[in-house]
């Protein structure tokens, strides 16, 4: 028998509690915590928690082996669209009256994605051996995130598995739709920017040096216009120092990525992302929609609010929003309202804060959060359309200015050559 330290939520009071239980493995420890009337959020073997203090090589090795054992079953990742279809099909089968085990076997036989096919059969084996569906899902963290696992666990506790799976499928469909729209909005400017850089590099490396030779032969040392000299100097710098320029660009990108992995860097970058022109407004609306829909779906599925906020914080995708959710978590934990921390974050507009306030007052918080998500999904649609229509002329003008400036710079000396020949 081993000792396991647990962190759980009391569904009656929404307060966190901790303790230690003895069990032969983690799944039995989780069941003991559930039998006590708590909702487990974290169950950790005591030996794992204290291995650092003992400092022995054997302890470190044992902990590493256990960590590897927990992570290995997940295999590879599965695309969101494939997982969305799997969830919808499983919800339909269970809603039609098929037992969970049979539904998993049916989906495993027809699944074409090799990773999800293997994982589905492993889920069926785990369920057949006596594990709950949520416990089986938790063994595949690369495929099923905490949001998925906790919603299924809430469905098991409430006996409404088919309802929860349908909600989860709808959530994934809407999230996939929003993600697709944002990606499609980003494709056009990225393609135009890539083409601009490629054209500029081609002109600088191959075309402008030819003009320079012509000017040296025909102008016989005459003074070139300032714009022409600037363009030729840029061309010489790119041609002669191309490895250094490429290395500098790569070094800047790597430095930004390394800086973004730090707590301060990630927060600063995410802060800038939310307020940059054109894109910032869209990304903020996406973050608010994701926050509202995820939290509303979790609470309406029966997941305790503190656990729901923890999951939403981990899936926020933006450190500024995650920090705001952490403040909301602490406020709820102390018995206060969500409204104060949301207002102080300055990320959530007054309309969102007001709707959440009304939801708390009337006891209809999940419904109000889902309404906020629907409103901001429409806002994202409008923002994508507006941004696309605005970016097209901006990028065309940007490309025209770059190429046009180079053409003018090369044409000005040609005027002098034509005049001298005439």
Of all residues in the chain, the percent with pLDDT exceeding 90 is: 3
Beta pairing class for 39-45 and 2-10? antiparallel
Cα separations in angstroms, 48 against 9, 53, 138, 146, 207: 22, 10, 19, 21, 64
The pLDDT assigned to 57 comes to 38
CB count in 10 Å sphere of residue 80: 14
Across residues 262-284, what is the average pLDDT?
A: 82
Using DSSP, state whether 129 is helix, strand or coil. coil
pLDDT tens digits, 410-420 = 888 887 777 77
* Whether the Cβ atoms of residue 45 and residue 26 lie closer than 8 Å to each other: yes
Quote the tokens at residue 309.
């906020």
The pLDDT assigned to 377 comes to 84
- Indicate whether 13 pLDDT > 70: no
What are the boundaries of each domain within the chain? 1-47, 80-144, 174-422
Buried/exposed code over 404-418 (b: 16+ C-beta within 10 A; e: otherwise): eebeebbeebeebee
* Average predicted confidence (pLDDT) for the chain: 80
The pLDDT assigned to 118 comes to 92
Rounded distance between C-alpha atoms, residue 217 and residue 228, angstroms: 16
* Whether the Cβ atoms of residue 234 and residue 204 lie closer than 8 Å to each other: yes
DSSP letters, 278-316, are: THHHHHHHHHHHHHHHHHHHHHHTT--HHHHHHHHHHT-
Quote the tokens at residue 132.
């709950």
The pLDDT assigned to 248 comes to 85
pLDDT band at 265 (very low <50, low <70, confident <90, very high): confident
Across residues 284-299, what is the average pLDDT?
A: 86
Angle at 293 between CA 290 and CA 299, to 5 degrees: 130
Which backbone phi and psi does 15 adopt, to 5 degrees? -105, 145
Which backbone phi and psi does 160 adopt, to 5 degrees? -125, 50
- Indicate whether 338 pLDDT > 70: yes
- Indicate whether 254 pLDDT > 80: yes
The pLDDT assigned to 121 comes to 92
Quote the tokens at residue 178.
């929003």
- Indicate whether 297 pLDDT > 70: yes
Q: How far is CA 116 from the centre of its chain?
A: 21
The order of strands in the sheet holding 15-23 is 15-23, 2-10, 39-45
Rounded distance between C-alpha atoms, residue 13 and residue 311, angstroms: 19
pLDDT band at 149 (very low <50, low <70, confident <90, very high): confident
Only one residue has tokens 């939403």, namely 312
């Amino acid at each position: 028998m081993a000792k396991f330290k647990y962190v759980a939520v009391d569904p009656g009071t929404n307060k966190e509690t901790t303790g230690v239980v003895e069990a032969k493995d983690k799944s039995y420890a989780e069941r003991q915590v559930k039998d006590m009337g708590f909702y487990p959020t974290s169950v950790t073997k005591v030996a794992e928690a204290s291995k650092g203090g003992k400092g022995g090589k054997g302890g470190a090795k044992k902990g590493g082996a256990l960590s590897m054992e927990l992570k290995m079953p997940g295999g590879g990742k599965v695309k969101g669209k494939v997982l969305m279809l799997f969830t919808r099909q499983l919800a339909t089968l269970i809603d039609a009256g098929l037992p969970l085990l049979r539904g998993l076997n049916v989906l495993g036989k027809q699944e074409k994605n090799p990773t999800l096919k293997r994982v589905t059969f492993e889920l069926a084996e785990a369920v057949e051996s006596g594990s709950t569906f949520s416990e089986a899902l938790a063994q595949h963290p690369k495929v099923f995130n905490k949001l998925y696992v906790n919603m299924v666990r809430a469905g098991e506790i409430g006996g409404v598995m088919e309802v929860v799976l349908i909600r989860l499928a709808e959530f994934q469909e809407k999230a996939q739709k929003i993600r697709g729209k944002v990606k499609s909005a980003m494709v056009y400017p990225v393609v135009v920017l890539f083409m601009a850089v490629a054209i500029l590099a081609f002109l600088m490396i191959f075309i402008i040096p030819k003009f320079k030779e012509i000017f040296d032969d025909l102008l016989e040392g005459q003074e070139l216009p300032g714009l022409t000299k600037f363009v030729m100097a840029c061309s010489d710098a790119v041609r002669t120092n191309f490895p250094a320029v490429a290395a500098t660009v790569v070094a800047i990108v790597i430095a930004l990525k390394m800086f973004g992995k730090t707590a301060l860097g990630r927060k600063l970058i995410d802060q800038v992302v939310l307020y940059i022109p054109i894109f910032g407004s869209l990304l903020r609306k996406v973050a608010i929609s994701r926050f509202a829909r995820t939290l509303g779906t979790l609470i309406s599925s029966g997941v305790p609010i503190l656990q729901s906020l923890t999951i939403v914080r981990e899936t926020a995708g933006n450190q500024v929003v995650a920090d705001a959710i952490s403040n909301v978590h602490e406020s709820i934990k102390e018995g206060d309202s969500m409204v104060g921390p949301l207002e102080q974050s300055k990320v959530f507009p007054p309309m969102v804060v007001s709707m959440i306030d009304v939801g708390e007052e009337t006891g209809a918080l999940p419904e109000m959060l889902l309404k906020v998500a629907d409103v901001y999904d429409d806002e994202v649609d409008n923002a994508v359309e507006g941004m696309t229509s605005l970016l097209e002329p901006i990028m065309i003008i940007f490309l025209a200015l770059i190429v046009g400036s180079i053409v003018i710079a090369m044409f000005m000396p040609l005027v002098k050559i034509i005049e001298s020949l005439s």
